[in-house]
Amino acid sequence: MSEHSEILARLFAPVEGGMARMRRVLEEQLHESSDAVRDMTDHVGRFRGKQLRAALVLLCGEASGNTTDEHAKVAAIVEMIHLATLVHDDILDGAEVRRRMACVNQRWNNQVAVLLGDFLYARAFGLSTTLSSGLCSRLLSETTSKLCVGEIEQSTRRYDFELSQADYERIAGAKTASLYSAACELGARYPGGNERVGELMRCFGWDLGLAFQIIDDVLDLTETTEQLGKSAGTDVEDGKVTLPVLFVYRSADEGTRAAIRDVYTAAGIEDRARKLAEVCDLGPGLRAAMRRAKDLIAACRERIVSLEESPARTALLEITEFITERRL
């Protein structure tokens, strides 16, 4: 086992049984009767990832003394929605298709990715309609629509260096924190009632998800593709002005600002993220962004200290640590 999977196994230990059930549900759902679809869901299934969102459903349930037989299903549904968003994130526009020609299956990729994502969403909603309570359907359809709005806004605010920190956080919150938040709230509240602790865990999940997104944005600027295990520097490439860059831009002189804008927009620049680090000192921006992420994590931790001590609560506290240490 790698160090990383050892950490995950330890963190998820309090809900080991639930995670195993969740994975079985997920497999059943991905295993569609049509061969054509099965090929693709098998492929998606291999991208299993951390399954952190599913684990949060179960851990928040345990930590707030609220676990039902249906929690594993709820966790699988949350994970399927996350998978659908991942699949749809891979849709490229024309320019990118050309730029990334080598790694894209030309005749196939976009259309099938759209349909596969749609299939995963539909299956997730379908499964949620079989639950005994409507809370999961309601909360997750709201969350999904919020998530899309966040992504659309992000897309329309590309190359916008005047974005305020509040706008950045609103958008990052909608696109990332909303699903974390729904996962935590569902864990604490499903099938219903439990409003107080549900609200608490909802806020816990929101701050955790927002911190996660900020750190993700920091890493996209600082890590190499090998360290990250996915393409680095893509935010600058895609015109996304993330929190570290906003901080640097805000306090830069007009010359540096122009240079930053140029790096994002001028034609023919090969490695925009590296070039960005050359035209300005990203250090203060990166540090300020990490400070903000750590403040959010501190708020997270304070929220759950009021819960009774339990292995699940300990795991949640450890998750917040690992996220700040960039190990999750």
Residue with tokens 């345990």: 62
What's the one-letter identity of residue 277? Answer: A
- Span of 95-103, 183-191, 197-205, 225-233 interacting with a second copy by CB under 8 A: 95-103
Shortest Cβ 215–a second copy spacing (Å): 24
Q: Is 103 in the site for a second copy (CB under 8 A)?
A: no
* Dihedral Cα 258, 263, 267, 268, nearest 10 deg: 140
Shortest Cβ 77–a second copy spacing (Å): 11
Q: Which is nearer to a second copy, 34 or 251 (CB)?
A: 34
Q: How far, in whole angstroms, is CA 200 from its chain's centroid?
A: 20
Q: Is 134 in the site for a second copy (CB under 8 A)?
A: yes
Q: Is 148 in the site for a second copy (CB under 8 A)?
A: yes
Site residues for a second copy, 72-91, by CB under 8 A, read 88, 91
Q: Contact letters (x/-) for a second copy, 14-53, by CB under 8 A?
A: ------------------x-x-xx--x-------------
Question: Which of 161, 151, 162, 328 minimizes the C-alpha distance to 236?
Answer: 161
Among 50, 68, 70, 92, binds a second copy (CB under 8 A): 92
Question: Which of 35, 17, 30, 110 minimizes the C-alpha distance to 72?
Answer: 17
Among 110, 165, 310, 314, binds a second copy (CB under 8 A): 110
Integer Cα distance of 159 and 57 in angstroms: 36
Integer Cα distance of 82 and 25 in angstroms: 15
CB 244 within 8 A of CB 282: yes
Residue with tokens 């640097």: 248
Integer Cα distance of 81 and 128 in angstroms: 11
> Would you tell me which residues interact with a second copy (CB under 8 A)?
32, 34, 36-37, 40, 88, 91-95, 97-98, 101, 104, 106-112, 114-119, 121-123, 125-126, 128-130, 134, 137-138, 141-142, 144-145, 147-149, 151-153, 155-157
